[in-house]
Amino acid sequence: MFSHTGSEIERICKKLGRRPDKIITNNIPGRFDCAVDTRVSEMFFSRRKPEPVEYHRMFARGLPVVTLHGWMRIVPGDICEDYEIYNLHPGDVVKYPELKGKDPQKRAWKGKYDTVGCVLHRAIQEVDAGDIVSRRWTRNKFDTFDEMDGKLRDLSVDMWVKFLSDYFSTDNNK
Note the pLDDT of residue 52.
56
Q: Which of 105, 56, 45 lies closest to 79, judged by CA?
A: 56
| 115-122/85-89 β-pairing | antiparallel
Note the pLDDT of residue 38.
45
- pTM for this prediction: 0.81
pLDDT band at 99 (very low <50, low <70, confident <90, very high): very high
**Stretch 98-125: mean pLDDT, rounded?**
90
pLDDT band at 153 (very low <50, low <70, confident <90, very high): very high
Examine the pLDDT at 27 and tell me if it is beyond 80: no
- 157 to 3, 30, 62, 70, 111: CA distances (angstroms): 13, 23, 25, 12, 24
CA distance 156 to 158: 5
Q: What is the pLDDT of residues 47-68, one digit of tens each?
A: 455 555 666 666 677 778 888 8
Hey, is 136 helix, strand or coil?
strand
